[in-house]
Amino acid sequence: MTTEEVLGAVHAERIRQDERWGIQNHDVMKWLVILGEEFGEGCEAALDFKSGDVTLLHPCQELQHVAAVAVAMIESLERQAGGWEGKSSMQSQEEI
């Protein structure tokens, strides 16, 4: 897959998440717990792939979930804080 295809899959997962759970605005610690849970599922899928229990598609799907949750976390924190220190977190470190 190309970068554009991967990001498209992550975007589709973000839409699915919002459809399933609605817009979420957790605090940073709860987001990290959710992200950690998704990362753990990715690790489990990688182990299952290594043992031959699943195809490589499964770990890739779990990593899409990890990426989508990370994006959701950034979106949520941006909504809550109106950007970090008055500036968007999407700016480079030199700009902040």
**Domain-wise residue ranges, the chain:** 24-81
pLDDT reported for residue 8: 97
Residue 71 clears pLDDT 60, i.e. is over it:
yes
- Please, are residues 68 and 10 in contact by the beta-carbon 8 Å criterion? yes
3-state secondary structure of 84: strand
* pTM for this prediction: 0.83
Q: What sign does the CA torsion over 23, 82, 30, 70 have?
A: positive
Q: What sign does the CA torsion over 76, 16, 18, 55 have?
A: negative
Per-residue pLDDT reduced to its tens digit, 35-68: 999 999 999 999 999 999 999 999 999 999 999 9
Per-residue pLDDT reduced to its tens digit, 4-34: 999 999 999 999 999 999 999 999 999 999 9
